[in-house]
């Protein structure tokens, strides 16, 4: 945990687009002139925030308990949580508040500035850092870090990548690849604000510049840096989103090795004695599955404890899916009921999970600064890249390449790692993901061909399409609480339905986020707009939609019993 505060050790000149950066002259007192100083500087470039909260609230994993629990009128933990869930511009938060668009924007651009300072310092130390035996590794890490931070930002604050032609017309984000030494930079200048297609090209350039230079022996704790597996996993995800499936498979295989099962999480050996032992096992920096660990300041756990938004039962009356069934209680193509790996690891709010449940992994670490006063910092550890998620990236790419046998092997490896004994078969997948999204909660309403005519989804066989739904379901389970489901929603054009009731009203509101809804792009932070940066072209209405809502077909709720049987080793809170 010694790295938790490392991200604050940055050069003040790196504060990008914040009010501070616009108003203060750069502070160049720190001189980076040795290999050791470069490495320490890069350690501070890993951000202390993730977009998990705003992405999960925007997506379809959480429901509003004010709708699904009778007579409930809970407040959100923070008002901006309501704004995120209702797909409004998020403007009601303070600068120092955790999990906001501001903290994501600020901490990621701070990390980018750190990478740029390191790159400039290395260029001053060597004519060719990439070929310098002492500097090559840090040169590689700096470029990968810069690429990844831009990758997250463009997927949060811009349209999903569609194709080279359409994405050239979608406004992206500033791609900052040099140190700024002036005050009041005009970041609306095309030099900075690139199209989504151009941002992707620059990300790829940085990935390729750095990926072959990573040397794990240079790290004291590789899991907190872009080690070789993390770098390959990042490249695999990038190329999956770009739909370059051959490269996705190539890099995923580089990370996974010849025996992927050996690197997957050992759920069976995780101790469920206490939540702390579970957390320690899950966040083990030596675990082969944890390619990259990111330490953050986050109030995600406390947001859930407010009991407003949760993984919970749905509502037949309001056509709301039971997300607890989708994520861990409702079975899969080769298992029934709760996924065995999660036995004893699910924590519940209220008797019978009335106010929802959550997997232990989002529980917080608390760092006391004053135990007597009871004050300190709240931390949550995330794994931006794991063996399991990389395996699912490869499986998805293999399906599009026509390598369904290999994809089936990867999907079965995922189920085996989650303690499923029954073999995975095409018949099992076809049975689980049959029908369509109007009568099967495990199927998403996809619009890939609407997103881009270059998608080849429509050309897939029915069996292959059901395998895609299986991959999306497995990834939804694997990455719950991480926000990656939101990226799948954006890139596949998945329709999302939110029903909500604000605490002081009785009326239930329904809203549908369609594949072409501009609200899929999160507005850049209000603080940044106030500092002079142009806002996204984001509206609350679609063309021809006078009420600000788009209707969607009403789901025919499945005629299945809602099984609320409790495990004796789960915990009521």
Task: Report the pLDDT value the prediction gives residue 83, as an integer from 0 to 100.
Answer: 95
* Mean pLDDT along residues 52-58: 98
Task: Report the pLDDT value the prediction gives residue 389, as an integer from 0 to 100.
Answer: 98
Q: How far apart are CA 444 and CA 539, in angstroms?
A: 25
Q: What is the DSSP string of 167-215?
A: HTTSEEEE---S---SSS--TTSTTTEEEHHHHHHHHHHHHHHHGGG--
Q: Is the pLDDT of residue 232 over 50?
A: yes
Q: Could you tell me what percent of the chain has a pLDDT over 90?
A: 75
Closest C-alpha to 391, from 284, 283, 266, 252: 252
State the burial class of residue 273 (Cβ atoms within 10 Å of its Cβ: 0-12, 13-18, 19+): exposed
Where b means 16+ CB within 10 Å and e means fewer, 296-333 reads bbbbbbebbbbbbbbbbbbbeebbbbbbbbbbbbbebb
Six-digit token pair at 380? 């949550």
Residues in the chain: 573
The string of pLDDT tens digits covering residues 366-387 is: 877 777 877 888 889 999 999 9
* Mean pLDDT along residues 549-553: 35
Closest C-alpha to 293, from 346, 219, 396: 219
The string of pLDDT tens digits covering residues 111-143 is: 999 999 999 999 999 999 999 999 999 999 999
Task: Report the pLDDT value the prediction gives residue 408, as an integer from 0 to 100.
Answer: 98
Q: Is the pLDDT of residue 564 over 70?
A: no
Could you tell me which residues are beta bridge partners of residue 512? 497
Taking every pair of Cα atoms in the chain, the longest distance, rounded to a whole number of angstroms, is 69
Q: How far apart are CA 100 and CA 81, in angstroms?
A: 9
Q: Is the pLDDT of residue 331 over 60?
A: yes
Closest C-alpha to 189, from 537, 534, 536: 534
Closest C-alpha to 201, from 251, 147, 261: 147
The string of pLDDT tens digits covering residues 3-53 is: 223 333 333 333 333 333 323 334 444 689 999 999 999 999 999 999 999
**What is the value of pTM for the model shown?**
0.90
Q: Is the pLDDT of residue 413 over 70?
A: yes
Q: How far apart are CA 151 and CA 169, in angstroms?
A: 18
The string of pLDDT tens digits covering residues 537-546 is: 875 443 344 4
40 phi and psi, to 5 degrees? -65, -35
320 phi and psi, to 5 degrees? -105, 130
Q: How far apart are CA 83 and CA 486, in angstroms?
A: 16
Task: Report the pLDDT value the prediction gives residue 538, as an integer from 0 to 100.
Answer: 74
Closest C-alpha to 358, from 51, 100, 573: 573
If one counts every other C-beta atom within 10 angstroms of the C-beta of residue 209, the result is 18
Task: Report the pLDDT value the prediction gives residue 386, as an integer from 0 to 100.
Answer: 98
Q: 136-157 vs 35-43: helix axis angle to the nearest 10?
A: 20
Task: Report the pLDDT value the prediction gives residue 24, as an integer from 0 to 100.
Answer: 36
Q: What is the DSSP string of 463-530?
A: HHHHHHHHHHHHHHHHTTTTTHHHHHHHHHT--EEEEE--TT----EEEEE-TT-GGGSPPPPHHHHH
Q: How far apart are CA 471 and CA 432, in angstroms?
A: 12
Task: Report the pLDDT value the prediction gives residue 508, as an integer from 0 to 100.
Answer: 96
**Cβ atoms 52, 124 nearer than 8 A:** no
Q: Is the pLDDT of residue 183 over 90?
A: no
Q: Among the listed ranges 25-34, 39-48, 356-365, 394-403, which one has the minimum average pLDDT value?
A: 25-34
| 369: CB partners within 8 A, 6+ apart | 375, 376, 377
Q: Is the pLDDT of residue 153 over 60?
A: yes
CA distances from 121 to 31, 114, 294 (A): 8, 11, 25
Give 187's pLDDT tier (boundaries 50, 70, 90).
Answer: low
* Beta strand 496-500 pairing with 571-572: unpaired
Give the CA angle between residues 258, 259, 265 to the nearest 5°: 135
State the burial class of residue 430 (Cβ atoms within 10 Å of its Cβ: 0-12, 13-18, 19+): middle
Q: How far apart are CA 537 and CA 171, in angstroms?
A: 9
* Mean pLDDT along residues 527-548: 63
* Mean pLDDT along residues 528-554: 56
The string of pLDDT tens digits covering residues 239-296 is: 999 999 999 999 999 999 999 999 999 999 997 778 999 999 999 999 999 999 999 9
The string of pLDDT tens digits covering residues 486-503 is: 999 999 999 999 999 999
Q: How far apart are CA 67 and CA 73, in angstroms?
A: 9
Task: Report the pLDDT value the prediction gives residue 221, as an integer from 0 to 100.
Answer: 96
Q: How far apart are CA 328 and CA 341, in angstroms?
A: 9
Q: Is the pLDDT of residue 215 over 60?
A: yes
CA distances from 477 to 278, 339, 488 (A): 18, 10, 13
Q: How far apart are CA 111 and CA 96, in angstroms?
A: 17
């Amino acid at each position: 945990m010694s790295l938790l505060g490392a991200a604050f050790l940055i050069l003040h000149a790196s504060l990008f687009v914040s009010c501070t950066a616009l108003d203060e002259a750069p502070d160049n007192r720190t001189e980076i002139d040795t290999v050791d100083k470069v490495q320490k500087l890069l350690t501070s470039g890993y951000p202390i925030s993730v977009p998990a909260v705003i992405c999960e609230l925007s997506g379809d994993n959480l429901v509003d308990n004010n709708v699904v629990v009778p007579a409930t009128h809970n407040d959100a933990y923070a008002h901006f949580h309501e704004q995120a869930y209702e797909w409004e511009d998020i403007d009601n938060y303070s600068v120092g508040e955790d999990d906001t668009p501001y903290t994501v924007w600020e901490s990621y651009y701070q990390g980018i500035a750190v990478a740029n300072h390191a790159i400039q310092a290395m260029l001053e130390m060597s004519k060719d850092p990439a070929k310098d035996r002492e500097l090559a590794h840090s040169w590689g890490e700096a470029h990968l870090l810069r690429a990844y931070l831009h990758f997250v930002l463009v997927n949060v604050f811009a349209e999903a990548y569609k194709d080279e032609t359409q994405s050239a017309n979608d406004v992206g984000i500033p791609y900052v690849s040099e140190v700024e030494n002036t005050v009041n930079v005009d970041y609306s200048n095309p030099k900075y604000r690139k199209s989504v297609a151009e941002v992707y090209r620059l990300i790829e350039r940085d990935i390729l510049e750095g990926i072959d230079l990573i040397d794990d022996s240079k790290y004291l704790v590789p899991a907190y840096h872009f080690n070789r597996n993390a770098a390959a996993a990042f490249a695999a995800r990038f190329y999956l989103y770009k739909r370059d499936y051959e490269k996705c498979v190539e890099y995923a295989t580089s990370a996974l090795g010849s025996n992927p099962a050996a690197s997957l999480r050992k759920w069976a050996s995780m101790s469920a004695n206490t939540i702390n032992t579970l957390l320690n096992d899950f966040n083990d920096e030596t675990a082969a599955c944890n390619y990259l660990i990111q330490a953050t300041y986050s109030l995600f756990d406390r947001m859930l404890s407010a009991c407003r938004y949760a993984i919970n039962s749905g509502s037949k009356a309001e056509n709301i899916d039971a997300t607890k069934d989708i994520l861990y209680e409702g079975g899969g193509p080769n298992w029934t009921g709760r996924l065995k790996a999660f036995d004893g690891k699910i924590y519940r709010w209220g008797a019978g999970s009335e106010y929802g449940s959550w997997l232990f992994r989002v529980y917080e670490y608390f760092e006391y600064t004053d135990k007597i006063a009871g004050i300190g910092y709240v931390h949550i550890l995330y794994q931006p890249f794991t063996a399991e998620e990389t395996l699912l990236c490869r499986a998805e790419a293999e399906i599009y390449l026509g390598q369904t046998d290999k994809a089936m092997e990867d999907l079965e490896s995922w189920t085996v790692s989650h303690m499923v004994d029954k073999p995975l078969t095409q018949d099992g997948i076809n049975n689980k993901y049959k029908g369509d999204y109007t009568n099967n909660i495990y199927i998403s309403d996809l619009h890939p061909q609407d997103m881009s005519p270059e998608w080849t989804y429509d050309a897939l066989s029915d069996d292959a399409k059901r395998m895609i739904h299986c991959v999306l379901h497995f990834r939804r389970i694997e990455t719950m609480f991480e926000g990656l489901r939101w990226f799948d929603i954006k890139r596949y054009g998945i329709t999302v339905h939110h029903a909500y009731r604000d605490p002081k009203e009785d009326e239930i509101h329904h809203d549908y986020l369609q594949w072409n809804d501009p609200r899929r792009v999160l507005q850049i932070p209000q603080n940044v707009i106030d500092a002079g940066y142009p806002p996204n072209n984001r509206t609350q209405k679609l063309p021809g939609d006078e009420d600000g809502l788009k209707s969607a077909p009403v789901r025919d709720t499945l005629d299945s019993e809602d099984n609320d049987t409790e495990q004796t080793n789960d915990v009521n809170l």
